Amino acid sequence: MTNKPTIQDVAKKANVSVATVSRVINEQGGVRKPTEERIKQAIKELRYVRNAVARSMVRKETKTIGVIIPDICNPFFPEIIAGIERKAIGADYSTTLSSSNESKKIESKIIQSFVERGIDGVIITTADENGEHLQPLFDANIPVVAVDRAIKHFDVDTVLTGNREGAYEAVRHLIMQKHEKIAIIRGPQDTTPGLERYKGYCQAMEEYGLPIKEEWICDGDFMEDSGYELTKKLSTCKEMPTAIFSSNNLMSIGAIKALYDMSWVLGKEVSFVGFDDIDIATFTNPPLTVVSRPMRNLGELAFQLLFERMKQDPLVKNQKREFIVTPHLIVRQSCKRSVY
Amino acid sequence: MTNKPTIQDVAKKANVSVATVSRVINEQGGVRKPTEERIKQAIKELRYVRNAVARSMVRKETKTIGVIIPDICNPFFPEIIAGIERKAIGADYSTTLSSSNESKKIESKIIQSFVERGIDGVIITTADENGEHLQPLFDANIPVVAVDRAIKHFDVDTVLTGNREGAYEAVRHLIMQKHEKIAIIRGPQDTTPGLERYKGYCQAMEEYGLPIKEEWICDGDFMEDSGYELTKKLSTCKEMPTAIFSSNNLMSIGAIKALYDMSWVLGKEVSFVGFDDIDIATFTNPPLTVVSRPMRNLGELAFQLLFERMKQDPLVKNQKREFIVTPHLIVRQSCKRSVY
DNA sequence: CTGTTAGCGCGTTCAC
DNA sequence: GTGAACGCGCTAACAG
């Protein structure tokens, strides 16, 4: 960032004023053809590139959006990001990405940095759904879209999945296979996905008059290790479950690993359904039945909503919008009830 | 980004000059305690946050680095990114991420946008190793670090993996299991990883005096589908290979899927080693032997190198540095030579 | 210790 | 059609 030619240099070289150069740079028209050519020539010769910082300064926009996610290594999020970026690049926005590692504190810092930088909008899967820590964003009047997890403290556009329905369908599927003793590995109950998926589980169980033993309810943290540990724990139940519902992808991986390690035979001694599809699903024996959702679409939708906000589309003013994308069950073979 | 209080407002409220406010904001010292307190109070009351754009304008740095990768949905890259971000956040840098989708054209656009935005440095896994399209970065004097793929046209710090050694070890391992007919699913030969891994394969084969049939050499594009298709193709060889070496993670997944679909029995009719570890590796039957590498470290190292460049550390001036991180073989069971 | 002021590079009136 | 000049918010001399 040194000695870069400025609009001044171009103006001088082309024998015009900076105003005229600015006009052709921004394609505002109203410049005679020959002048324009001269300017373009100068730009090329000088290798001039416009300075977005200075431009942001006067325009009061950075054409940049911030994205905050809790864990970039969970394959769910790269898909979301890919969706966001796809749309963003089309709208000529850059994407600044940060991972909070599920820490509210880190998230606050990221937010601070975002508002300092004058980001135009934020898409966030928050580490803390209370959301008071998003205050600075609202102070600065920066539009926010929540993805996958809601935000309680503020009214923001939100893109969620049908968590409850998805979980309900999954458990119902288990029940249809004559399962009655179904355990759940829950996610954090202070997150929308964690709680709603649990509710879906309960709903299905209740609807079919099935009892829910306390020992079948395990609390995980959406990470692989907890899936592993909790599955081991489930194997020690006084009343052994014949099926397990796992609340997310990473915990499913852990769970399956545990099953293998304990020789608790999948699809024979115990059935399994997980929320979110995973690579390993078709490699286990039998393949895993899972709840799947169009992740890339979630990201695209999120950007779309944010974009409208950033443009201050009058149509969407003052109304919180909530989109719930419907997931669907991919039935493979891990739920068949066989001999027990 | 509207009506935000400025340093002026704070100055007025605290009855001092902007210079003094600037001093406390930047913790430069030389301000009497009571004045400082008054200013801090004003900042709090006004909810003032400093404007990084204006600051960048005069400081001529944005405290932002740009990261370009070819495919965010390849789990290899999120790990890299996690490593970069970890270090970056510690050094108080933000990270702007963009995915090129392996397109040189898109990559050029991203680069253009980066230099316009006055990014301080770039970490890139380029879609085109020739690298002429990186010219604008050098025009603008922006330091660059290449990760995983080299850049030919310019001398830049580079972080690579021991691709050849890794592949060599993998193939050698196969040979030690008495395999002689070993096929390779190659990556693009105009990429360092693609080419070097192929060289490692050749080296091992030659060293042990094993012939390489042309039909055993398949050209993939590092994506899952090509792994799938090429494995199918391999099954039609006149002289069937007894082992396959796959050049990357995604192609490995495709390959294994193909094996399953064709009932070409893994670990029995055909052995397998892949470059890069993958989730599914421990779920296949038998589990997959793979070449593994410390991806997060690659990212951390890359940032470290870039950081030194950005600080213009005189120690590193004018020398291109190249780091090669050694991979290692994780031996599982997919290579045992059994009955054929 | 604190204040004044000159830019940083650009977009935008408002004249010409 | 084109140009001159102001100001965006801040930092960095330089004065006091």
CATH code, domain with B258:
3.40.50.2300
Give me the amino acid identity at A82.
Answer: A
Sheet strands side by side (includes B121-124): A322-325, A157-161, A144-147, A121-124, A64-69, A94-99, B94-99, B64-69, B121-124, B144-147, B157-161, B322-325
Whole-angstrom distance, CA of residue A133 vs CA of residue A109:
10
Question: Do A29 and A102 belong together in one domain?
Answer: no
Short-list B277, B12, B305, B327, CA closest to B168 = B327
Question: Is B58 within 8 Å of chain A by CB?
Answer: no
* CB-CB neighbours of B221 under 10 Å: 18
A285 and A168 part of one domain: yes
| Secondary structure tally for chain B: helices H, strands E | 12, 12
Of the listed ranges A198-207, B215-224, B310-319, the one predicted with least confidence: B310-319
Q: Locate A32 and state its tokens.
A: 């005679």
Residue B60 has its nearest CB partner, among A1, A115, A120, at: A1
Question: Residue B284, Cα to own-chain centre: how many angstroms?
Answer: 26
At residue B1, the pLDDT reads 46
Among B1, B2, B95, select the one facing A98 at the smallest CB separation.
Answer: B95
Q: Which positions in chain A touch B82 (Cβ < 8 Å)? A: 72-73, 99
Higher pLDDT, A268 or B302: B302
User: Domain limits at B33?
Assistant: 1-58
Asked if B249 contacts B330 with a C-beta cutoff of 8 angstroms, the reply is no
Chain A CA closest to residue B287: A283
Clarify whether residues A167 and A289 are in a common domain.
yes
Q: Which residue of chain B has the CA closest to A250?
A: B279
Which helix (DSSP H) or strand (DSSP E) does residue A147 occupy? strand A144-147
- Given a cut of 80, whether residue B340 has pLDDT beyond it is no
pTM of the model: 0.93
Going by their DSSP bridges, the two strands A289-292 and A328-330 should be labelled as antiparallel
Supply the CATH number for residue A48's domain: 1.10.260.40
Claim to verify: residue B257 and residue B320 sit in the same structural domain: no
The 3-state DSSP class for residue B115 equals helix
Give the residue with minimal CA–C1' separation from C6: B58
Spatial separation of the C-alpha atoms in residues A150 and A175, rounded to whole Å: 30
Sequential pLDDT tens for chain A (340 residues): 457 899 999 999 999 999 999 999 999 888 888 899 999 999 999 999 999 999 999 999 999 999 999 999 999 999 999 999 999 999 999 999 999 999 999 999 999 999 999 999 999 999 999 999 999 999 999 999 999 999 999 999 999 999 999 999 999 999 999 999 999 999 999 999 999 999 999 999 999 999 999 999 999 999 999 999 999 999 999 999 999 999 999 999 999 999 999 999 998 899 999 999 999 999 888 899 999 999 999 999 999 999 999 987 666 676 899 999 999 999 998 887 654 4
Do residues B7 and B63 both lie within one domain?
no
Judge if A155 and A175 occupy the same domain.
no
Residues 75-94 of B with CB under 8 A from A: 75, 77-79, 81-82, 85, 89, 94
Domain identity same for B43 and B63: no
B43, B58, B73 — which closes off a domain? B58
Contacts of B55 (CB under 8 A, 6+ apart): none
Question: Which amino acid, one-letter code, is at B241?
Answer: P
Please indicate, yes or no, if residue A330 is contained in any of the structural domains: no
A232 and A150 co-located in one domain: no
CB spacing of A116 vs B50 below 8 angstroms: yes
Distance from CA of A141 to the nearest CA of B (A): 6
Q: What average pLDDT does chain B have? A: 93
Which tens digits make up the pLDDT trace of B229-269? Answer: 999 999 999 999 999 999 999 999 999 999 999 999 998 89
What is the SS3 assignment for A241? coil
Inside any domain, residue A337: no
Residues A190, A302 within the same domain = no
In this structure, the answer to whether residues A1 and A113 fall within a common structural domain is no
- Close Cβ partners of A225 (under 8 Å, ≥ 6 residues apart): A254
Q: Is A185 inside a domain boundary?
A: yes
